[in-house]
Amino acid sequence: MPSKVPHGGARGYIIPIGGAEEKENSREILSRFVTLSGGSDANIIVLPTASRMSDTGARYEAIFRELGAAHVEAMDFDSRRDCEELGRLQRLESATGVFMTGGNQLRLSTILGGTPVAKSLRQMNAMGVHVAGTSAGAAFISEHMIAFGEEGHSPIAGAARLAPGLGLTNRFIIDQHFRQRDRLGRLLAALAYNPFAHGLGLDEDTAAFIGPDNELEVVGSGAITVVDASCMSFSSMDSVKEGEPVCMLGVQLHILVAGATYNLHTRKASAGVLAGR
């Protein structure tokens, strides 16, 4: 569960990114993360745990330094034992921003889940530290995580397999590489199990910057598909067999592009700056 925000405090931004964010030319998403984290005073920790590529952490270290961050360090938590080392925890807790890379979200849940590192990340975010994740790192952010599933437009029973995530928030379920990998069906299937949460389908090079007021702003070159199943009047998920299509009635859907906003509390969408064009 999310950690409680101290009285008079404000939670840090939560920033899920749909993967394949621009790293070479217009680094709008990564640059904004650095600015939020303190700019030239930023102290950023990169967690490459999801990735099996040895250079992932070093690559993001170089990018964030080029964007002006004063202190950047990649910390490899390769085992659950690593997550209990006091020195590593103290270094993590000094950060003003934490960035989780892509890879395999099940590596994040099986290595970090239920450890002092996961607890620290929830407490840090509640105390104002900004936490971002791209691709697998984005999927891991919420309480309910899509571990894997099938592609396609329609919700199919069994198309989405859920697992516990980090738990920075319980307000949404993330799916990433959304339009590029045709994942609307599995996000709908996940919401058929749990209509309380919002579904956020993030295209590549697209991020949701979610502030302490639960206002989501879209940044990047793609779109975010917001699925609101809170008013769903019927779901056949409890009666269909695995592999069969699911009937869902009363689901609301929004397509948001850069500058558009969505309030996770009021469930209201706005075209934002686009409305003035």
Q: Kindly list the catalytic residues.
A: 135, 177, 204
**Alpha helix segments (H runs only) across 13-104:** 28-36, 56-66, 86-92
Give pairs for 51-56: CB < 8 Å, separation 24+.
51/101, 51/102, 51/103, 51/104, 52/103, 52/104, 52/107, 53/103, 56/101, 56/103
- Beta-strand relationship, 43-47 and 14-17: unpaired
Each residue of 198-235: b (16+ CB within 10 Å) or e?
bbbbbbbbbbbbbbeeebbbbbbebbbbbbbbeeeeeb
Which tokens sit at 39?
């700019």
Judged on CB neighbours under 10 Å (0-12, 13-18, 19+), 57 is buried
CB 125 within 8 A of CB 3: yes
CB 194 within 8 A of CB 173: yes
